Amino acid sequence: MKTVTNMFILNLAIADDLFTLVLPINIAEHLLRYWPFGEILCKVILSIDHYNIFSSIYFLTVMSIDRYLVVLATVRSKRMPHRTYRAARIVSLCIWILVTIIVLPFIIFANVYTDDLEIKSCGLSFPKPERFWFKASRIYTLILGFAIPVSTICILYTMMLYKLRNMHLNSNARALDKAKKKVTIMVFIVLAVFLFCWTPFHLATIVALTTDLPQTSMVIGISYFITSL
């Protein structure tokens, strides 16, 4: 069905599936212990990684905005003539363009580099001072890829619940109260799943900013598990 919600869900599914495209190559690099695929594929893989990080969260945010506007229109008994499938396609395109702009710095800095042991690796190659640019990139990802979207979603759902709880109808009071409880449960489930999937990843970012963990097999395995959430 060509609906606004389905359009956003389709784009969200595409955003989430991006991770599965690069996972085999990431695993191959880990098993081989070097990068054999060249610089172009390195840029492609790292850009897809970051597309996954930003696009999935942004489409969840857009879906939250859409849901809030629907609830607001329902409370005010108003129609939404501009909420069309075509408008959803335009919004989705704008999200992908925005994500492309956000990911662009990572594409620029993605490169194949050689360490002291002459082993090739694919990663972000920053100018000096490298530690400063590394921290800046992590903070950049943390703010644009987590703090702002999560804050937006939490604010919207809080306002949504507030408006629903203050909505008064003269009839069907019991049905309305039951509907309010269902929406409340749904909101908390959505927020819980969202935070469960993304908070560990960004907590790992905070740990990387504040500590210097050695890249052991356990640390790498935990990072892959966190990313797969």
For residue 21, the model assigns a pLDDT of: 83
- Look at residue 6 and tell me whether its pLDDT is greater than 70: yes
Highest mean pLDDT among 52-66, 71-85, 176-190: 52-66
For residue 176, the model assigns a pLDDT of: 53
- Look at residue 74 and tell me whether its pLDDT is greater than 80: no
For residue 174, the model assigns a pLDDT of: 57
Three-state DSSP class for residue 133:
helix
For residue 97, the model assigns a pLDDT of: 96
**How many Å apart are CA 9 and CA 3, to the nearest integer?**
10
Per-residue model confidence as pLDDT tens digits over 137-182: 888 988 998 889 989 988 988 888 787 777 655 445 555 556 556 6
**What region, left, alpha or beta, does residue 123 occupy, with left being phi > 0 and alpha being psi -120 to 50 degrees?**
beta
Position with higher pLDDT, 79 vs 99: 99
The residue written with tokens 């009839």 in the block is 171
Supply the pTM of this predicted model.
0.80
Q: CA distances (Å), 218 to each of 14, 22, 153, in order? A: 30, 20, 33
Torsion of the alpha carbons at 164, 155, 73 and 85, rounded to the nearest 10: -130
Q: What mean pLDDT comes out for the span 205-229?
A: 57
For residue 215, the model assigns a pLDDT of: 46
**What region, left, alpha or beta, does residue 133 occupy, with left being phi > 0 and alpha being psi -120 to 50 degrees?**
alpha
Instruction: Supply 153's token pair.
Output: 């979603």
CB 77 within 8 Å of CB 30: no
For residue 123, the model assigns a pLDDT of: 86
Q: What mean pLDDT comes out for the span 92-115?
A: 92
For residue 94, the model assigns a pLDDT of: 96
Highest mean pLDDT among 44-48, 197-201, 212-216, 221-225: 44-48
**How many Å apart are CA 179 and CA 198, to the nearest integer?**
29
Closest CA to 70 of 134, 168, 189, 156: 156
CB 150 within 8 Å of CB 195: yes
**How many Å apart are CA 149 and CA 147, to the nearest integer?**
6
Q: CA distances (Å), 204 to each of 54, 89, 138, 139, 209, in order? A: 16, 34, 10, 12, 9
For residue 104, the model assigns a pLDDT of: 94
Q: What mean pLDDT comes out for the span 38-63?
A: 89
Percent of the chain residues topping a pLDDT of 70: 78
With the C-alpha atoms ordered 55, 60, 65, 70, is the resulting torsion angle positive or negative?
A: positive
CATH of domain 4-228: 1.20.1070.10
Three-state DSSP class for residue 172:
coil
End-to-end, the C-alpha distance of the chain in Å comes to 28
- Look at residue 220 and tell me whether its pLDDT is greater than 50: no
Amino acid, res. 155: I
